């Protein structure tokens, strides 16, 4: 089979599923694969399960983004990510693969070996070279809102890290404004609108209360006119709301996923692909029934 070339997804037809492949030892969710005897083999096994469970795209990341996580060097990130992407392309050549990185060199090498999307948690603000790499490759890019800052986190042993004391005068208005700054950076580098996906950054530089409000008001982010990716999976706002550890947050994640889809999410980024795929299909069956009846008439 030939390697899949980048192409837009048919947004609006259903909710798409992004499965998270964490190539880290310190993922907040407890599913980091570093430490397995063979990182590549562990990633392939996880990918096989995700694809069986109807994942549409695999998001491969080599650096933890949990609150308070230590930065990973470019060399170490490349060592984790590139062999896995190469193996995924060989074994699953028809599957979309996204590289979760904000580093231009990591993204460039990942695209060279077969990744087709770039997922940037800093919305093109962390590395000024990344936008040019994406534009040259003509691939989709996920631009995420992020106000994470050192010293603004609280860590509890059971529940993990959360952000505290982060002030917004206008939560949704400021998220919209800052996302559009990232869109402008994309445009200035030649990235077309058809390749831009927005992510409001649930859990990144937002308190528990702010995350709850953001989920409820996602339709105001969707109104910007771009496909919307939402990643509530196992996040600390669920854990602190329900007083549950990451491995106990499946029901809370399901509630956030269903509400996100109702508010306009086009894609959900999740750890529990099988369960959340069923949640998405059921939610689609409810909220998209008018669209289907109109298309048949």
CB 50 within 8 A of CB 39: no
User: What is the token pair recorded at 165?
Assistant: 């004391």
Residue 293 is predicted with a pLDDT of 52
The CA-CA-CA angle for residues 219, 225, 229, to 5°, reads 60
Cα(297)–Cα(293) distance, rounded to whole angstroms? 6
User: What is the token pair recorded at 249?
Assistant: 């947050």
For the chain, list the domains and their CATH numbers.
16-296 (3.20.20.20)
CB count in 10 Å sphere of residue 222? 19
Cα(99)–Cα(42) distance, rounded to whole angstroms? 17
Residue 286 is predicted with a pLDDT of 96
Question: Which of 237, 195, 197, 193 lies closest to 214, judged by CA?
Answer: 237
Backbone angles phi, psi at 246, to 5 degrees: -55, -40
Counting as low any pLDDT under 70, the low residues of the chain are: 1-8, 26-37, 66-69, 150-163, 165, 290-297
Q: Is position 292 annotated as part of the catalytic site?
A: no
Q: Which residue has the tokens 């200035």?
A: 188
Among the residues of 224-272, which ranges form H helices? 236-242, 250-262
206, 209, 215, 220 alpha-carbon torsion, rounded to 10°: -80
Of the listed 269, 278, 281, 289, which one is catalytic? 269
Q: Is position 222 annotated as part of the catalytic site?
A: no
CB 196 within 8 A of CB 154: no
Of the listed 66, 162, 235, 249, which one is catalytic? 235
Q: Would you say how long the chain is, in residues?
A: 297
């Amino acid at each position: 089979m030939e390697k899949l070339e980048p192409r837009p997804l048919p947004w609006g037809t259903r909710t798409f599923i992004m499965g998270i492949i964490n190539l880290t030892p310190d993922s907040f969710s407890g599913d980091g694969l570093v430490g397995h005897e063979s990182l590549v083999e562990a990633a392939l096994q996880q990918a096989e399960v995700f694809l069986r469970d109807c994942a549409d795209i695999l998001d491969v990341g080599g650096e933890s983004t949990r609150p308070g996580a230590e930065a990973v060097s470019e060399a170490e990130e490349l060592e984790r990510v590139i062999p896995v992407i190469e193996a995924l392309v060989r074994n699953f050549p028809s599957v979309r693969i996204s590289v979760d990185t904000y580093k231009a060199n990591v993204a460039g090498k990942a695209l060279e070996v077969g990744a087709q999307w770039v997922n940037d948690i800093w919305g093109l603000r962390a590395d000024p070279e990344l936008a040019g790499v994406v534009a040259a490759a003509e691939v989709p890019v996920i631009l995420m809102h992020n106000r994470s800052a050192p010293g603004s986190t609280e860590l509890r042993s059971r529940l993990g890290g959360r952000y505290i004391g982060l002030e917004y005068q206008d939560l949704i208005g400021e998220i919209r404004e800052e996302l559009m700054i990232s869109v402008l950076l994309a445009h200035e580098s030649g990235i077309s609108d058809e390749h831009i996906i927005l992510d409001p950054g649930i859990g990144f530089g937002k308190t528990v209360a702010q995350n709850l409000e953001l989920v409820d008001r996602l339709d105001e982010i969707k109104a910007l006119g771009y496909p919307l990716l939402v990643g509530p999976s196992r996040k600390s706002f669920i854990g602190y709301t329900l007083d549950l550890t990451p491995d106990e947050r499946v029901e809370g994640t399901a509630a956030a996923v269903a509400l996100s889809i109702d508010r306009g999410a086009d894609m959900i980024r999740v750890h529990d692909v099988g369960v959340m795929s069923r949640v998405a299909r059921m939610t689609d069956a409810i909220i998209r029934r008018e669209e289907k009846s109109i298309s048949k008439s």
